[in-house]
């Protein structure tokens, strides 16, 4: 692996999804305003560490390929913060094993620190016979006092230290020392079943929301909330409650944001200063162009033409580029 350290700034959830590869990610901004993503990262031999923060509340779904697993956490969990279906107002580490789909709602301005490790570390951390084949694929670990915070603080320190000293990772000795610090901190945490919080049954309302979001991803045309609930065969009031409780938005807002994201993604892929905004908007069910432009600017903090003029064929730097 080539040792690397760097940082990336992005201006849309689509760019963010490209940057976080090898995660196969789908991200939807669901709070209005310009999106800014900030990521700092370092590769320590076989371990990739990174720190991420997004300016807007974002609905996300992502999965790692079979060669890697993830350990990470929120640096300062807020009371009631919902991480992958768990209210995490205490320090827990999230563990995503290979080929795991992780769905979560990330609040705005929340810093997340993570490590991506090769699968060969699984037995060392989880113990023989307790690997991905015999365990559930996603966990929250309640950390012994101080250990979770120390691990995340150690990773943040390593990232900051390497950014301040760009040539540090060129020395294999320093690289080995930093990797060993991370491994030692991980080894002190008891990744055993007794530290896994009891899995609460998924509520009917959360199942309802999951089904609505899965169906919503297939919608391109404008439909009403009654039509949406009818297609899902779900009571409209139950649908409203599920969206408000878990996402803080209404089904109507979600359906609008879903189509606006479709336009945004298409505009980013067009050549700068091309003249296809009306066509793209119509393809996503927008016919009142003045209202469309206002809704678009409210969500993304810019007009459609601004997105188009910023579009570029430049390939972003991706996390996956540090893993090979």
Domains along the chain with CATH numbers: 5-200 (2.60.120.10), 204-310 (1.10.10.60)
C-beta of residue 61 within 8 angstroms of C-beta of residue 25: yes
Rounded Cα–Cα distance for residues 252 and 258 (Å):
10
> Has residue 138 got a pLDDT over 70?
no
pLDDT at 136: 52
Query: What tokens does 224 get?
Result: 């009403």
Predicted model pTM: 0.84
The 8-class DSSP code of residue 108 comes to T
CB-count exposure of residue 18 (10 Å: 0-12, 13-18, 19+)? middle
Distance CA 133, CA 195 (A): 19
For residue 209, give both structure tokens.
């929301």
Asked whether the beta carbons of 256 and 298 are under 8 A apart, the reply is: no
Confidence of residue 95 (pLDDT cuts 50, 70, 90): confident
When pLDDT is averaged across residues 71-76 and rounded to a whole number, the result is 84
More confident residue, 164 or 206: 164
Tell me the average pLDDT across 230-240: 94
From 162-171, 182-191, 255-264, the region with the lowest mean pLDDT = 182-191
Q: What is the pLDDT of residues 191-218, one digit of tens each?
A: 765 555 555 456 788 889 999 999 999 9
Residue pair 58/28 in contact (Cβ under 8 Å)? The answer is: yes
pLDDT number for residue 314: 58
Give the model's pLDDT for residue 41: 93
Least confident of 122-136, 229-243, 250-264: 122-136
Distance CA 52, CA 2 (A): 21
Average pLDDT, rounded, for the chain? 84
Q: What's the whole-number mean pLDDT along residues 77-81? A: 47
Which of 18-22, 150-154, 200-204 is the least confident region? Answer: 200-204
């Amino acid at each position: 692996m080539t040792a690397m350290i760097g940082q990336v700034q992005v201006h849309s959830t689509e760019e963010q999804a490209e940057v976080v590869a090898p995660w196969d990610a789908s991200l939807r901004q669901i709070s209005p305003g310009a999106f800014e993503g900030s990521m700092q990262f370092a590769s320590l031999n076989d371990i990739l560490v990174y720190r991420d923060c997004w300016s807007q509340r974002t609905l996300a779904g992502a999965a790692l390929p079979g060669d890697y697993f993830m350990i990470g956490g929120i640096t300062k969990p807020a009371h009631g913060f919902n991480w992958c279906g768990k209210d995490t107002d205490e320090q827990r580490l999230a563990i995503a094993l290979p080929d795991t789909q992780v769905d979560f709602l990330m609040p705005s301005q929340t810093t997340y620190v993570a490590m991506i490790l090769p699968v060969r570390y699984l037995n060392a951390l989880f113990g023989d016979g307790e690997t991905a084949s015999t365990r559930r694929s996603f966990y929250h670990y309640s950390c012994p006092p101080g250990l979770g915070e120390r691990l995340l603080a150690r990773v943040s320190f390593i990232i900051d230290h390497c950014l301040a000293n760009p040539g540090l990772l060129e020395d294999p000795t320093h690289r080995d020392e930093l990797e060993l610090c991370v491994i030692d901190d991980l080894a002190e945490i008891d990744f055993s079943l007794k530290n896994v919080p009891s899995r609460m049954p998924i509520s009917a309302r959360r199942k309802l929301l999951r089904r609505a979001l899965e169906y919503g991803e297939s919608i391109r045309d404008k439909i009403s909330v009654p039509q949406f609930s009818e297609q899902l065969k779900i009571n409209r009031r139950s649908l409203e409650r599920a969206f408000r409780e878990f996402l803080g938005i209404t089904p109507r807002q979600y359906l609008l944001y879903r189509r606006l994201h479709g336009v945004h993604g298409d505009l980013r892929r067009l050549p700068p200063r091309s003249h296809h905004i009306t066509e793209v908007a119509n393809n996503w069910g927008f016919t009142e162009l003045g209202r469309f432009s206002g809704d678009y600017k409210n969500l993304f903090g810019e007009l459609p033409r601004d997105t188009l003029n910023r579009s570029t064929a430049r390939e972003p730097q991706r996390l996956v580029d540090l893993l090979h």
